[in-house]
Structure 1
Amino acid sequence: MFMNVAYLNNSTSTVVDNTKPLIVTSCGNYRVKNRSEVVTHRPNGRKDYQLLYIASGKGHFFIHGEEKTVSAGNIIIYLPDQPQEYVYYRADQTDVYWVHFTGNEVEEILKYYNINLKNNILYIGTSPDYQWLFGQMIQELQLCRPRYDELISLQLRNIFVLISRAIMSAKKFSSTSEKEVAFAMHYFRKNYNTEISIEE
């Protein structure tokens, strides 16, 4: 299994900090390839918030005693003290990003961005922008450069903005067309200095 994880101040202990509106405490990426399964079981949950993004493959989440298979393009949100139980199987080739966060205005911030706290699972699409932003948060947490804690909270807000856009535009566009446009834009940004044919 590929793992790329990072923690605020390089501390793996759970952080509950109410001194600021929004604080990212850890972020990571798992790609399940060689282990038969990866199991998370926290009967009492955690003291912070957690958001998971399924970039590809799928995960199996047990919410209120019911198993839900969650496919690519969905986020799962756990509130403080909410029981957590989920499994990733090798056969599903799961690629998942996650972030833990805390703060004194988290609930208000999530509501502002139209993120319904009563609905644990939400489809937001498979834009590469999500993966890039998660990757940036992981990198900042690993490098610990000056004011990195401020930057990663802004990057998480950026993810919230994209989630809010996805929610608001869900009725206007089909998920297929949005996905194609997002991947095309990402491809052009990455390959601006190479010759691109119409077929490509």
Structure 2
Amino acid sequence: MISISGNAMKEWHEFGVANTDCFLTVNCCGYQKLMTRNLERNREQGRADYQLIYIVRGKAVFRFGNEEIVAGGGHMVFYAPGQPQNYCYYAENTTEVYWIHFTGHAVHDYLEQFGLVGGSIYEIGSMDETVALYNKIIFELNMNKPFSGHVTTAYLLEMLALLGRKFQHGEEHHKARQYADITMIIGVMHERYSEQLVIADLARQCSLSTFRFIHKFKDVTGTTPLKYVTDIRINEAKKLLSESSLHVREVASIVGYDNPLYFSRVFRSTVGMPPSEFKKQFL
């Protein structure tokens, strides 16, 4: 077995160390490559700190309660303090893993923010950035330079943030597929905002009832279709008023309002001042 590790403490603590005096700190970090013998861990009482294991390649089996889960390359395993740890890395698969133990009073808040609470095994795929950060932390722990603790904490925080981004991107990708029809309509709105768009017509393009279309549109954008189009028009009007010599009446017509008085009311309601007063700021 090839094993490389770094420890922030002077000696190894099999069951970890909890430190609530700091917001986030790395206890130890390492890399292992199994070549001839399997490696098994059985910590029925878990550890006092948190652990993230990243399997680069190979095969490992993790037991959570009565369930055994086979994990391979691209899987990350999370252990909370006090959670039983029972797992085995297999040498026949030339298993390679990175691991890190960390603690601090703000750990749970960070994990919750980045979506690492509520699960034990995550499929994250190949993440070269994560591997690089593990290696940087190991190197820093072994160099024992000034402010090493701050540097390793910064690397760990970057790692957690990248994992959070990975999870969020996956959710956004799923949402994008689920709401492809609304995404299409949003594109139509940006292209044809100056036309008289009818909500019922937009709903029919999505094969939805008007009620369902408005509800689904609000799920994606946080606002109604009418408000969304209005915002596009007013933002374009602000640009034309500030960057051109066009009169208010001309701007109103360009962005889709036949009645300049109605345009002025909408503009004032949205921006907080009449379009004429807004334009004076740029003369």
What TM-score does the superposition give when structure 2 sets the normalisation length? 0.59
SS of residue in 2 equivalent to 1:96: strand
% identical equivalent positions: 30
SS of residue in 2 equivalent to 1:118: coil
Report the counterpart of residue 20 of structure 1 in structure 2: 22
Query: Within 5 Å, which residues of 2 pair with 1:23-172?
Result: 23-35=25-37, 37-115=38-116, 117-171=117-171
Structure 1 ranges of 4+ moved more than 2 A: 171-174
User: Do the aligned residues in 2 keep the contact of 1:27 with 1:98 (CA within 8 Å)?
Assistant: yes
Deviations 1:135-172 (A, max 9, x none): 00001111110001011011011111111111011256
SS of residue in 2 equivalent to 1:151: helix
In the TM superposition, what is the alpha-carbon distance from 1:57 to its structure 2 partner?
Answer: 1.3
Whole-angstrom distance in 2 between the partners of 1:34 and 1:91: 7
Deviations 1:7-42 (A, max 9, x none): 11332123211111101000000101122x110000
User: Do the aligned residues in 2 keep the contact of 1:125 with 1:166 (CA within 8 Å)?
Assistant: no
In the TM superposition, what is the alpha-carbon distance from 1:54 to its structure 2 partner?
Answer: 0.6
User: Do the aligned residues in 2 keep the contact of 1:9 with 1:144 (CA within 8 Å)?
Assistant: no
User: Do the aligned residues in 2 keep the contact of 1:58 with 1:71 (CA within 8 Å)?
Assistant: yes
Whole-angstrom distance in 2 between the partners of 1:103 and 1:11: 19
When the two structures are aligned, how many residues end up with a matched partner? 172
In the TM superposition, what is the alpha-carbon distance from 1:83 to its structure 2 partner?
Answer: 0.5
Whole-angstrom distance in 2 between the partners of 1:171 and 1:111: 16
Whole-angstrom distance in 2 between the partners of 1:70 and 1:38: 15
User: Do the aligned residues in 1 keep the contact of 2:41 with 2:85 (CA within 8 Å)?
Assistant: yes
SS of residue in 2 equivalent to 1:10: coil
In the TM superposition, what is the alpha-carbon distance from 1:118 to its structure 2 partner?
Answer: 2.1
Whole-angstrom distance in 1 between the partners of 2:143 and 2:11: 14
In the TM superposition, what is the alpha-carbon distance from 1:76 to its structure 2 partner?
Answer: 0.6
Unaligned runs of 5+ in 2: 175-283
Whole-angstrom distance in 1 between the partners of 2:76 and 2:23: 22
Report the counterpart of residue 188 of structure 1 in structure 2: none
Larger proportion of strand: 1
The one-letter code matched in structure 2 to 1:144 is: N
Q: Which has the higher contact order (CA 8 A, sep 6+)?
A: 1
Larger Rg: 2
Whole-angstrom distance in 1 between the partners of 2:46 and 2:171: 34
In the TM superposition, what is the alpha-carbon distance from 1:173 to its structure 2 partner?
Answer: 5.9
What TM-score does the superposition give when structure 1 sets the normalisation length? 0.82
User: Do the aligned residues in 1 keep the contact of 2:56 with 2:98 (CA within 8 Å)?
Assistant: yes
